Amino acid sequence: MGRCFWALLFAAFGLHALFTQRNDESEEISELAGYSVFLTTLSLIFLAEFGDKTQIAVAGLASNMALLPVWVGATTALILVSALGVWVGRALLQNLQTIWLHRVGGAIFLVFAAIAGWRALS
C-alpha cells in the first residue's frame, strides 16, 4: 500500500511539472521588508537539516570523537554543499529556461513513479 502511494505521488509531481505552462522568467523577485536573506537562508537550512540522516550521523560521531573536529568538519561540509547547490542552481538558471527545468524534473519524477510502481506490483 505504501509503495503505491509513493508511485502515485511521484506521478502527480511529474505530471504537474510537465504540464505547468507558467514562465517564471518575467516574474520579479523582491525581498520583503524586515526579512534578511541571511536569516531566511539560515532558517531554511536549519529546518531542512533538522532530523536528517547526516545530522544523526554527526551526533553519533560527536558522541565517540572529539567535539571540535566533528563540528568543524560537519559545518565545513554543509557550507561547501550549500555553496555548490547555489553555484549549480545559478548556472542552470542562467543557461536554461525554467520551462526546461520543469520538464526535466517532471520526467525524472515520472521515472521514479515507474520504478516505485514496478516495485509495488512485484
Domain segments of the chain: what residues? 2-18+38-121
- The average pLDDT across 83-93 equals 90
Which ranges of the chain does DSSP label H, i.e. alpha helix?
2-19, 37-49, 53-64, 67-95, 98-121
Distance CA 12, CA 113 (A): 9
**Residue indicated by cell numbers 525581498:** 31
Return the pLDDT at 20.
Answer: 81
Determine the residue type at 112. F
Residue 24 has pLDDT above 60, yes or no: no
Return the pLDDT at 35.
Answer: 73
Distance CA 117, CA 16 (A): 18
